[in-house]
Amino acid sequence: MSQKARWIRIFISALKIAVGSCIAIYIAEMFRLDYATSAGSITLLTLVTTKWETVRLSVFRVITFVLSVLLAAVLFPYISSTWLAYGLFVFGVVMICEGIGWRATVSVNAVIGIHFLSTRDFHEAFIMNELYLVLIGITVAVVLNLFHPYQSQKNNIVNNILYTEEQLHRILTKMAAYLSNEPLEGNVWDDIIALEKRLHHYVEGAYEYQENTFYSHPQYYINYFEMRSQQCSVIHNLHYEMKRMKHMPEQAHIVSDYILYMRDYVKELNVPQEQLQRLQEIFDTMTKEDLPQNREEFESRALLYHVLMDLEEFLVFKRRFVENVDDRQKEIYWKKEKQ
C-alpha cells in the first residue's frame, strides 16, 4: 500500500470515528441522558474494530454490561472507600472479561462503573440510562461500520494477486537463467525477500478484508496469499541450494527448461497436474543417467535433485490450494479474469 493510500485510510477512519462520536453524543443529549459524552466514547472504542468485530463486540458489550451492573450493585453500596470500591470493581470486571475472552469490553464497563460509583444509584431509571448509553454508542458504531470501502480494498487485493504472479514469473525466469549460466539482472535473493515481506502484508490485508465484508468468499484471498507465501519459502530454499552448486551438472539445462515451462502456469487457478507429471518424467530420466564421475559432480547433481524436489513441493502447494477452491470462489475468479 502506498503512503498516500495509507493516509487516506487513516483520514477516513479518523473522520468516521469523529462523526460517529458526535452523533452518539447528540442522540444521548437529545434523550436527556446523564453522562451523554460517554456514548461518544463507547462509539469510538467500538469503531476502531473491523465490521465483523464491531458486531461481535457490540453483543459482548451488552452481556458484560449486565455482569458489570450486578458486580457494582454487590460492591458499591457496602464499601465506603471510593478507591477501594473502584479497585475491587475493576479487578472483578477484568477477571470476568479476560476469563471469557472479551478483553475489549473492559474499557466501556470501567467507564460505566465510574458512573455507578459517582452516584451509587441502582434504581431502574439510572440502570436504564447507562444501558441506553451503551446501546446508542454501539448502534452508531455498527451503522457507520456498514459504510466501508470494501470494493476498493478488494480491487487492491486483486492487484496484489497480479503483482505476486508477475514477481514469481520474474524470479523463476532468473533462476532458470542461473541454471543455464546466463547473466542475471539484479539480485534474485533480494527479489525473494521483498516478495516474502509483501506477502506477509497481503495476508494481513486479506484477513482485514474478510473482517470487513459479510460475503462468504474472502477466505479465498487469505488461502491464496498463504499458499503464495508457502511457495515463496520453497523458492527461498531452492535458490539457496542452487547457490551451493560448485559445478553445474549437464542435467541443469533440463531443469532450467522445465522452470521456464512451469513459470507460464503460475497463474491463480491453474491446476498443476500436467506440470507435476512432466516433473516426474524428469525424475525418471535422471535416475537412468550415468553415475557421477567425481565428488564435485556427485554433490552438484544431488543438489540439483533437491531443486527438483523443491519444485515438486512448489506445485503441490498450488494443487492443494486449487483443490480446496469451491464453485462460488471459482465463479468470482472467472468474473475477475473477464474484467
SS3 state at 288:
coil
Residue 66 exposed, middle or buried by CB count within 10 Å (0-12, 13-18, 19+): exposed
Quote the DSSP letter at residue 79.
-
Give the helix ranges, DSSP H, for 121-218. Answer: 124-145, 150-179, 188-211
Calculate the alpha carbon distances from 133 to 36, 308, 313 in Å. 7, 64, 56
Which of 129, 145, 161 is the C-terminal boundary of a domain?
145
- Same domain membership, residue 124 and residue 195: no
Which of 145, 164, 185 is the C-terminal boundary of a domain?
145
How many other C-beta atoms can be found within 10 angstroms of the C-beta atom of residue 220?
A: 22
- pLDDT at residue 338 in the model: 45
C-alpha span between 104 and 39 (Å, rounded): 16
C-alpha span between 136 and 46 (Å, rounded): 11
- pLDDT at residue 271 in the model: 80
C-alpha span between 205 and 225 (Å, rounded): 10
Helical pair 295-323 and 273-287, crossing angle rounded to 10 deg: 160
- Same domain membership, residue 76 and residue 131: yes
Domain count, the chain: 2
Residue 35 has which C-alpha cell?
Answer: 453522562
Q: What sign does the CA torsion over 313, 319, 324, 330 have? A: positive
- Same domain membership, residue 162 and residue 57: no
Query: Could you tell me if 130 and 124 are in contact, meaning their C-beta atoms sit under 8 angstroms apart?
Result: no
- Same domain membership, residue 255 and residue 160: yes
Calculate the alpha carbon distances from 51 to 25, 46, 149, 150 in Å. 21, 10, 11, 10
- pLDDT at residue 332 in the model: 57
Q: Which residue has the cell 512451469?
A: 262
**Quick one: which of 277, 273, 189, 190 has its CA closest to 238?**
189
SS3 state at 260:
helix
- Same domain membership, residue 71 and residue 196: no
SS3 state at 43:
helix
- Same domain membership, residue 163 and residue 48: no
What would you report as the CA-atom Rg of the chain, rounded to the nearest whole angstrom? Answer: 29
- Same domain membership, residue 283 and residue 208: yes
- Same domain membership, residue 141 and residue 154: no
> What's the angle, vertex CA 277, arms to CA 276 and CA 281, rounded to 5?
115
Query: Could you tell me if 81 and 40 are in contact, meaning their C-beta atoms sit under 8 angstroms apart?
Result: no
- Same domain membership, residue 166 and residue 268: yes
- Domain limits for position 46: 3-145
**Quick one: which of 162, 316, 148 has its CA closest to 230?**
316
Which of 112, 145, 178 is the C-terminal boundary of a domain?
145
Query: Could you tell me if 203 and 187 are in contact, meaning their C-beta atoms sit under 8 angstroms apart?
Result: no
- Same domain membership, residue 33 and residue 128: yes
Counting as low any pLDDT under 70, the low residues of the chain are 1-3, 5, 48-52, 148-151, 184, 211-218, 246-250, 268, 288-301, 327-339
Residue 59 has which C-alpha cell?
Answer: 453483543
- Same domain membership, residue 174 and residue 262: yes
- Same domain membership, residue 108 and residue 178: no
C-alpha span between 150 and 158 (Å, rounded): 12
C-alpha span between 161 and 262 (Å, rounded): 18
**Quick one: which of 69, 40, 55, 58 has its CA closest to 130?**
69
Query: At 256, which CATH number?
Result: 1.20.120.940
- pLDDT at residue 217 in the model: 55
Q: What sign does the CA torsion over 69, 73, 74, 75 have? A: positive
Query: Could you tell me if 38 and 118 are in contact, meaning their C-beta atoms sit under 8 angstroms apart?
Result: no
